[in-house]
Amino acid sequence: MHRRKVIVNGQSRALAACAPYTSALDWLREQGLTGAKEGCAEGECGACSVMLARPGIDAPTEWTAINSCLVPASSLSGQEVVTAEGLGTPSALHPVQREMAVRGGSQCGYCTPGFVCSMAAEYYRPGRADFDLEAIGGNLCRCTGYRPIKDAALALEQPAADDVLAGRTQEPPPELAGDLAAVLAAVAEGAVVVAGSTDLGVEINLRGARPERTVAVDQVPELREFEVTGDRVLLGAALSLTEIERRLAGRVPLLDEVFPLFASRLIRNGATIGGNLGTASPIGDLPPALLALDATVVLVSRAGEREVPLSDYFTGYRETVLRPGELIKSVHLPLPLAGTVAFHKISKRRLDDISSVAVAVALDIDGGVGGVVRRARVGLGGVAATPIRALATEAALVDQRWNDETVARAAEVLAGEGTPMDDHRASAAYRSAMLGTSLRRLLGRAQ
């Protein structure tokens, strides 16, 4: 029964029968490892952050921080977990723990174990030169104001030569890899698909969702393909946002504008591109950009595969063309990419917030400012029941010169796209106004 074991802080523990809705966090706490805490139960605060050994990009295995409140305990099966307790002890602090302690990085201490794990994962990132502060952007602290935490992160040096965790390079066990046929069979029988569980976990924790059956897809090789050819980029549906960001390495500039605004690193480490399209939220961050990139999605079932333009994929509020038994396999981005792109997300908080409006623009322009717009794609989020393309705006831009007059005219059209609504995030009037200003900002940036 290999698959019912978890290695926690170097020690193998039996993953005894626990309910499908039991989170990894609750399971760890039942094991007596109470360092990880529940602060919000929806992946917003990071108090539950722990490190997982995941298949790596720059090394066979990389330590990856995730929100343990979101993933089911059963998904830990066969994996290796490190918590704050496993990094060091009061008499032998880990370098991350030492910097946090001596610099006043903890006050009440409740968020601290989570910060330590998020920070340690970045500390161990293969090839790290500077500390990327995005690593701790998904952790909230209500006491310190963050200055000492930031200083602690920036004070970290490289791991010592004899650091056991840094030296861990073995491949993940092959039996972890999922089997597509088995997954498709389960999906056909109505199992709920789970990848990073960053959405389902919230439904379970906050809204009492209790799916009878789930099937994990995050380790299925066919869903984890990544390929760049002459005419397209192929992104496997089960690749996490972090994996896509690092594998693309800047090759899709529009997505590079999306990544830092897509939730937090902790979420991006779990959340997948397939999940973001599968959940079909009208305020998801990826769909507007993928619409602007003319993406298509490949859907797979036991009956075979079909490819659907993303603009035809969404059919209603959280509804799509996905048929029973069907699963998103991959997302294709046609090449070459448009030359002038922008992603504009309006939210209360600049980072790690849900958008009230999102606008993605991809334009092919002959020459720079003043040239003629040959092709325009504008994707919108937050203004309708689904992510939509702003077709009237696109029409108002095509064959026009990329200048103040065109933008003023198109901006007026754009402000009238969709049917923005009033809610606690923003008023309808503000949403419309933000649509209107987004093109002006793009032109302003070019000028």
If the CB atoms of residues 303 and 369 are measured against other proteins, the closer one turns out to be: 369
Number of residues that bind other proteins (CB under 8 A): 85
Distances (CA, A) of 348 to 153, 240, 353, 425: 26, 25, 7, 7
Residues 73/23, Cβ–Cβ less than 8 Å: yes
281 contacts other proteins (rule: CB under 8 A): no
Q: Out of 23, 83, 296, 320, which residue is the one contacting other proteins (CB under 8 A)?
A: 83
- Considering the complex, what minimum distance in angstroms separates the CB of residue 74 from other proteins? 16
**Which residues inside 313-352 make contact with other proteins, applying CB under 8 A?**
346, 348-352
- Kindly indicate which of the ranges 103-111, 192-200, 312-320, 330-338 contains the residues binding other proteins, using the contact rule CB under 8 A: 103-111
Q: Out of 60, 146, 155, 191, which residue is the one contacting other proteins (CB under 8 A)?
A: 146
444 contacts other proteins (rule: CB under 8 A): yes
Look at phi and psi of residue 304 and say left if phi exceeds 0, alpha if psi is from -120 to 50, else beta: left
Q: Out of 3, 132, 142, 177, which residue is the one contacting other proteins (CB under 8 A)?
A: 142
Residues 60/168, Cβ–Cβ less than 8 Å: no
Residue 85: Cβ within 10 Å count: 17
Distances (CA, A) of 84 to 48, 94, 113, 151, 357: 10, 9, 5, 19, 37
**Which residues inside 412-441 make contact with other proteins, applying CB under 8 A?**
423-427, 430, 433-434, 437-438, 440-441
Give the relative orientation of helices 147-155 and 95-102 as an angle to the nearest 10 degrees: 140
**Which residues inside 104-123 make contact with other proteins, applying CB under 8 A?**
104-113, 116
If the CB atoms of residues 242 and 355 are measured against other proteins, the closer one turns out to be: 355
Give the relative orientation of helices 404-415 and 428-446 as an angle to the nearest 10 degrees: 160
- Kindly indicate which of the ranges 88-96, 294-302, 306-314, 383-391 contains the residues binding other proteins, using the contact rule CB under 8 A: 88-96
Residues 379/387, Cβ–Cβ less than 8 Å: yes
At a CB cut-off of 8 Å and minimum separation 6, what does 48 contact? 25, 36, 37, 38, 39, 67, 68, 69, 114
> How far, in Å, CA of 96 to CA of 156, rounded?
7
Q: Out of 12, 58, 89, 307, which residue is the one contacting other proteins (CB under 8 A)?
A: 89
Q: Which residue bears the tokens 């039942």?
A: 30
Q: Which residue, 328, 202, 223, 316, is CA-closest to 275?
A: 328
Binding mask 207-226 for other proteins (x = CB under 8 A): -x------------------
Q: Out of 5, 85, 185, 192, which residue is the one contacting other proteins (CB under 8 A)?
A: 85
- Considering the complex, what minimum distance in angstroms separates the CB of residue 352 from other proteins? 6
Q: Out of 145, 167, 309, 367, which residue is the one contacting other proteins (CB under 8 A)?
A: 145
Residues 256/250, Cβ–Cβ less than 8 Å: yes
285 contacts other proteins (rule: CB under 8 A): no
**Which residues inside 35-54 make contact with other proteins, applying CB under 8 A?**
35-42, 44-45, 47
If the CB atoms of residues 298 and 421 are measured against other proteins, the closer one turns out to be: 421
Q: Out of 2, 11, 32, 164, which residue is the one contacting other proteins (CB under 8 A)?
A: 32
Q: Out of 34, 158, 169, 170, which residue is the one contacting other proteins (CB under 8 A)?
A: 34
> How far, in Å, CA of 149 to CA of 139, rounded?
11
If the CB atoms of residues 94 and 125 are measured against other proteins, the closer one turns out to be: 94
If the CB atoms of residues 43 and 56 are measured against other proteins, the closer one turns out to be: 43
